[in-house]
Amino acid sequence: ELSPPEEAALFSLADLGPVDLATKTVQVEIFIAPYPETAACRRMMPLVWSRVQAFYALLGVNLVAQEGGPEPGPLAPARRLRVEVLTHKQWLARSFKAFDVAPPFRLRFLQVCRDKCAFAHLPLSVIHVSFKSFQEADSSPGTRGDAQANRDWLANLLIHEVGHLLGL
C-alpha cells in the first residue's frame, strides 16, 4: 500500500518535458463512395466538416480536408488521415478486413456492429463510416430527424472518431 504522498507522486507532472502548444496541421482525406446511398452525405459533408474543423481548431489542431479518390493517398498517424463514408456492404467488408475477422467469426462480429455506424482503425489511420447505419440510427425513435439534426449527429460522430485517430 502507498501513502497518500507516495500515491500523489505517481501522478506528478514534474517528470514531463516542455509541452508543444503550437498549432498542429493534420491532413484529412475525405472519400464518399459514389453511390445513390451516400448522396445525402455528399451534400451535407461541407457543412458537417466545417463543424469538425471548428471543434479541433479550439484544441489547436488545424484539419485540412482533401477530396479522396477511390484509393487512399499516403497515410501517417496524426499527420495524414482518411475518412471513408461507405455503403453498408463496403463498410462491413472493410471492417472485417481492418479487424482481421475470419469468416467463421463474422456473424459474431455482426452482433458487435449492430449499434455501430463508424470505426476508427488506428493502425490504418482510417475511419470507416456506414452512411446507411448512420441514417438508421439518426431516424430512430426519439430523434428529430430534420436536416440540422442529421448534420449535428454526423459532425459529432466524426469529431469522436477523428479524436481516436489523434490519440484522444
pLDDT in tens, 29-63: 999 999 998 988 899 999 999 999 999 999 999 99
What pLDDT score does 138 carry? 56
Strand 24-32 relative to strand 61-67, pairing: parallel
Alpha helices in the chain (DSSP H): 4-10, 39-58, 88-98, 106-113, 131-138, 147-165
Calculate Rg over the CA atoms of the chain.
19
Left if phi > 0, otherwise alpha if psi is -120 to 50, otherwise beta: which for 49? alpha
Give the three cell numbers for residue 135.
Answer: 441514417
pTM reported for the whole predicted model: 0.81
SS3 156: helix
